[in-house]
């Protein structure tokens, strides 16, 4: 379906308790007419829906409400809630105060202290825990049951009701053998586990909340010579915004007056303030350090860099990697299977020895220990923590699949200009063949006057410095991978590499010796030629120098330590390309590559079974970025490059590529650890419960611990520190 016809909507979901809930909502949403994609994230309690029909909001909220959950449409600018330390905490405290007197006798028996509360008092303490503080389990479990599905709350409700009901029966038959402490302790422990889990879970969204906090609520604008504060929502493109020292820049814009240092650390991960002067671009969210700035607004709202960063991080946290989709399939059948196991446990013990009381307790233990909550949290919490900490250091990962795949990378292919080099070439030499140097530079500047290519900017800067006038070329045409051609003063002029000269039939022999010397010195050569009455003629050449970034060699060395091979894909000449490769330690070089041949090199390696990443920043890198398994785009590059890449590096620092692989490996390890613990609790706990070796109280504690341990383990990712940070310090 056409991209413009697709609505992308986000909903806040309330009432989810485990992976089964998320899977059930997701399944229902995907059945709605016009919905092409639906993803529900248990950790963020959000649903992302893509639909091709105009009025889908009501049908989505109705479908979710039918399942027994709440849904509210939210905008991309909606801020995530902060951590409310008191939320539901009072319920845990009340449940604990009522449960402790019931559990103390059981603890005392370990030390040979035999005493017990009267049965009526036990019932009095357990009843409010079961039906008041535990009411949420009944509500959620009932909604699941009437929709012919199951969730964690249904297991807890059935298990604790069985223990409470058995105790109520025995109260009138054998008051010396009651199990009120089991039902109350399980509910208390589950409430405690959910409270701790909620607090820990919200910490995984800290990165997004930190980014959202960068948005000021208002801005000071200058209109008709007057300055006044207005809401950020009322600012329009073209407005003049005054930013005083200590304030955050409210919009993306261009400096018209003033100069200052800006702190962009939360946007780019760069800890050092950046000097900004007249006409420099500024990004909303940066802190103005020392000067008063007058900024012309160029982007507002969802179009600002900060909004796009937040959207990228949120999209990555919503998306599900392949491993999570497998877990969802397991979770979908988990609760029904557990109910069957619990029933078989009850019947097996009861029919075997007639001890139906013990049989019921064993079945309760099965129901309580088998919680799919940890399974549902294992992957999304790790993904959220991984993408969040990466964003903090200037690595924006667009989707979870890229984060999962990055740890498999075998090869990283680099573009040269602007990626491994500074991307700010300067004209070092001007050699003429048929015209004088001033005319040669004037022609080259005329051709490049409408281009944003780094070499074009170098030519125009050289013309400006030497006061060389130039005209605007007509009929300018890009020759991909070769150069430019245009009409200047009535005749066709070409400006490009040796391949371009060969294609138009112009010999370069006259300057070939000098050109080879320049190439040996690491210069990039661009030839100038014209065609009059069908006859091609060499006019001269311009040589460019571009310094290698200080971090490039360290980046390649780091990739080699990670076991990743590197290659250089560039349209530059072989001599210049090899010189850069030797400086930084690149393994393989592919020079004089067109955009389409770069993509073919990438595809060739992929067909051999390798996982390939491509790093670039220009329009000519877009085909290769799209062809690679993972594309890395420098934020200093073009929008086309960033749109076709899976990872955007907010600083033009090649060290961030290795850091991305590092955080991917760390995140994937956390996912595997979490899934191991989530499964191991059940693989050990369920058999123990089936064979009567697990008390329901211990089962409740283990179940609560499983969810909390998974989230806490994921939160350890927040301690990750990139190697590039150490290189800069």
Catalytic residues: 415
Q: How far apart are CA 334 and CA 19, in angstroms?
A: 10
Which residue, chain included where needed, has tokens 């991305």?
660
Is residue 409 a contact partner of residue 611, using CB atoms and an 8 Å limit?
yes
Beta-sheet pairing, 612-616 with 588-590: unpaired
Is residue 389 a contact partner of residue 663, using CB atoms and an 8 Å limit?
yes
Which residue, chain included where needed, has tokens 């070329």?
473
Q: Apex CA 147: angle with CA 195 and CA 362, to 5°?
A: 60
In Å, what is the CA distance from 331 to each residue of 127, 335, 337, 371, 433?
Answer: 31, 7, 10, 10, 74
Q: How far apart are CA 570 and CA 418, in angstroms?
A: 11
Q: How far apart are CA 631 and CA 629, in angstroms?
A: 7
The alpha carbon of residue 595 and the mean position of all alpha carbons in its chain are separated, in whole angstroms, by 28
Q: Where are the alpha helices (DSSP H) in 57-133?
A: 57-66, 89-110, 119-128
Question: How many residues in the chain?
Answer: 729
Q: Where are the alpha helices (DSSP H) in 283-406?
A: 305-318, 322-353, 356-369, 373-392, 400-405
**Token pair in block for residue 404:** 């999962």
Q: How far apart are CA 107 and CA 185, in angstroms?
A: 12
Strand partners, 287: 248, 263
> With the CA atoms of 170, 176, 182 and 188 taken in that order, what torsion angle do they form, in degrees rounded to the nearest 10?
110
In Å, what is the CA distance from 625 to each residue of 412, 601, 647?
Answer: 11, 12, 10
Q: How many CB atoms lie within 10 A of CB 693?
A: 12
Is residue 40 a contact partner of residue 11, using CB atoms and an 8 Å limit?
no
Q: How many CB atoms lie within 10 A of CB 85?
A: 8
In Å, what is the CA distance from 117 to each residue of 120, 161, 167, 186, 245?
Answer: 8, 21, 14, 19, 68
Beta-sheet pairing, 252-257 with 260-263: unpaired
In Å, what is the CA distance from 153 to each residue of 131, 364, 503?
Answer: 13, 13, 72
DSSP assignment of 449-500 equals TT--SHHHHHHHHHHHHTT------EEEEEETTTEEEEEETTEEEEEE-HHH
Question: What region does 426 belong to: left with phi over 0, alpha with psi -120 to 50, or beta?
Answer: beta
Residues 6+ apart with CB under 8 A from 669: none
The secondary structure of 514-575, three-state, reads HHHHHHHCCCEEEEEEEEECCEEEEEEEEEEECCECCCHHHHHHHHHHCCCEEEEECCCCHH
């Amino acid at each position: 379906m056409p991209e413009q016809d697709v609505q992308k909507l986000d909903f806040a979901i309330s009432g989810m308790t485990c992976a089964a809930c998320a899977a059930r909502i997701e399944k229902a949403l995907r059945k709605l007419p016009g919905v092409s994609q639906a993803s529900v994230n248990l950790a963020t309690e959000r649903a992302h829906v893509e639909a091709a029909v105009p009025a889908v909001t009501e049908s989505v909220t109705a479908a979710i409400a039918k399942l027994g959950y709440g849904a509210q449409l939210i905008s991309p600018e909606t801020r995530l809630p902060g951590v409310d330390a008191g939320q539901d905490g009072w319920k845990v405290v009340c449940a604990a105060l009522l449960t402790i007197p019931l559990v103390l006798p059981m603890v005392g028996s370990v030390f040979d202290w035999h005493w017990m509360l009267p049965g009526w008092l036990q019932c009095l303490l357990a009843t409010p825990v079961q039906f008041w503080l535990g009411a949420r389990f009944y509500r959620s479990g009932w909604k699941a049951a009437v929709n012919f599905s199951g969730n964690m709350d249904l297991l807890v409700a059935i298990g604790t009701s069985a223990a409470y009901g058995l105790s109520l029966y025995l109260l009138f038959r054998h008051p010396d053998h009651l199990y009120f402490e089991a039902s109350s302790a399980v509910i208390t422990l589950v409430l405690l586990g959910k409270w701790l889990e909620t607090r820990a879970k919200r910490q995984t969204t800290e990165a997004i909340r930190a980014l959202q906090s960068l948005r000021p609520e208002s801005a000071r604008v200058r209109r008709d010579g007057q300055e006044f504060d207005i809401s950020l929502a009322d600012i329009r493109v073209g407005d003049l915004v005054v930013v005083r020292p200590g304030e955050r820049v409210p919009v993306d814009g261009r400096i018209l007056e003033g100069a200052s240092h800006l702190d962009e650390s939360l946007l780019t991960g760069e800890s050092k303030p950046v000097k900004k002067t007249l006409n420099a671009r500024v990004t909303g969210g940066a802190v103005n350090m020392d000067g008063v700035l007058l900024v012309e607004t160029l982007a507002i709202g969802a179009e600002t860099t900060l909004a796009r960063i937040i959207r990228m991080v949120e999209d990555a946290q919503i998306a599900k990697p392949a491993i999570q989709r497998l877990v969802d399939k397991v979770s979908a059948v988990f609760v029904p299977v557990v109910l069957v196991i619990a029933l078989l446990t009850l019947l097996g013990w009861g029919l075997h020895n007639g001890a139906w009381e013990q049989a019921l307790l064993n079945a309760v233990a099965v129901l309580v220990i088998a919680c799919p909550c940890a399974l549902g949290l294992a992957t999304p919490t790790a993904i959220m923590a991984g993408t969040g900490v990466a964003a903090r250091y200037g690595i924006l990962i667009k989707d979870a699949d890229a984060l999962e795949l990055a740890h498999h990378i075998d090869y990283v292919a680099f573009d040269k200009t602007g990626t491994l080099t500074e991307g700010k070439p300067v004209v070092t030499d001007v050699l003429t063949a048929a015209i004088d140097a001033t005319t040669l530079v004037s022609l080259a500047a005329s051709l490049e006057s409408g281009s944003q290519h780094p070499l074009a900017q170098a030519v125009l800067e050289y013309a400006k410095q030497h006061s060389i006038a130039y005209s605007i070329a007509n009929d300018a045409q890009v020759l991909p991978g070769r150069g430019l051609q245009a009409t200047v003063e009535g005749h066709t002029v070409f400006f490009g590499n040796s391949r371009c000269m060969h294609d138009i039939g112009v010999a370069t022999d006259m300057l070939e010796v000098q050109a080879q010397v320049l190439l040996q010195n690491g210069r990039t050569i661009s030839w100038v030629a014209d065609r009059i009455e069908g006859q091609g003629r060499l006019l001269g050449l311009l040589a460019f120098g571009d310094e290698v970034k200080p971090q490039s060699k360290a980046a390649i060395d780091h990739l080699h330590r990670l076991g990743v091979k590197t290659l250089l894909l560039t349209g530059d000449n072989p001599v210049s390309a090899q010189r850069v490769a030797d400086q930084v330690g690149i393994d393989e070089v592919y020079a004089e590559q067109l955009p389409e041949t770069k993509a073919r090199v990438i595809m060739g390696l992929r067909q051999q079974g390798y996982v390939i990443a491509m790093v670039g920043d220009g329009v000519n890198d877009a085909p290769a970025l799209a062809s690679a398994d993972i594309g890395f785009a420098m934020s200093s590059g073009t929008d086309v490059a960033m749109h076709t890449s899976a990872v955007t590096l907010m600083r033009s620092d090649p060290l961030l590529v290795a850091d991305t692989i590092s955080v991917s490996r760390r995140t994937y390890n956390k996912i595997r650890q979490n899934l191991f613990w989530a499964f191991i609790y059940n693989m050990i706990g369920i058999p123990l419960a089936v064979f009567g070796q697990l008390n329901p109280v211990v089962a409740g504690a283990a179940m609560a611990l499983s969810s909390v341990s998974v989230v806490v383990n994921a939160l350890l990712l927040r301690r990750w520190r990139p190697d590039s940070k150490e290189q800069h310090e």
